[in-house]
Amino acid sequence: MAQLSDITNAVIRTEIEEFIDDPAEIERNVELFAKASAQMQEIAAALLEGDNDTVDQLTRIALDEGIEALEIMDDGLIAGMGIVGIKFRDGFIFVPEVLVCARAMKAGMAHIEPILAASGAEPAGTVIMGTVKGDLHDIGKNLCIMMLRGGGFIVIDLGVDTSPEEFLEAVAEHDAHVIGMSALLTTTMPNMAKTVEAFKDAGLREKVRFMVGGAPVTPEFAEDVGADGYGKDAMAAVELATKLAIEVRA
Partner 1 sequence: MTTEDIPRLSGEWMTPRRRFISALFGGRVDKIPAMTLSSVATLEGMEIADADFPEAHLDAEKMARLAATAHENLGLDTVMPVFHSQLEADALDADTWWGEKDNWPATKGHVLDDPDSFKIPPDYLERRSFKAVLGAIKLLRKRYPDVGIVGKVYGPWSVGFHLVGIENWLMGTITEPDKIRRYLEVLLPASMMSAHAQFEAGADAVMWADHANRELCSPETYRDFLLEMHQGVTEEMGGPSILHCCGETTDRIDYFAEAGWDCFHFESQVDPVKAKEIVRDRMSLFGNINNPTILFSGTYDDTYKACMEVLEAGIQGVAPEGSVPLGVKMEVLQALSDSARDYSNANRPDGRLVTFNPTK
Nearest CA to 159 among 141, 176, 183? 141
By CB under 6 A, residue 138 contacts ligand B1M: yes
Nearest CA to 101 among 152, 43, 31? 43
94 binds, among partner 1, ligand B1M, none (CB under 5 to 8 A by kind): partner 1
Name the minimum Å distance from CB 186 to partner 1.
4
Name the minimum Å distance from CB 88 to ligand B1M.
7
Name the minimum Å distance from CB 55 to ligand B1M.
22
Q: Which is nearer to ligand B1M, 76 or 85 (CB)?
A: 85
DSSP string, 183-236: ---TTTTHHHHHHHHHHHHTT-GGG-EEEEESTT--HHHHHHTT-SEEESSHHH
By CB under 6 A, residue 172 contacts ligand B1M: no
By CB under 6 A, residue 135 contacts ligand B1M: yes
Residue 52 contacts residue 104 (beta carbons within 8 Å): yes
By CB under 6 A, residue 182 contacts ligand B1M: yes
Q: List residues near ligand B1M by CB under 6 A.
A: 95, 135-141, 143-144, 180-182, 184-187, 211-216, 231, 233-234, 237
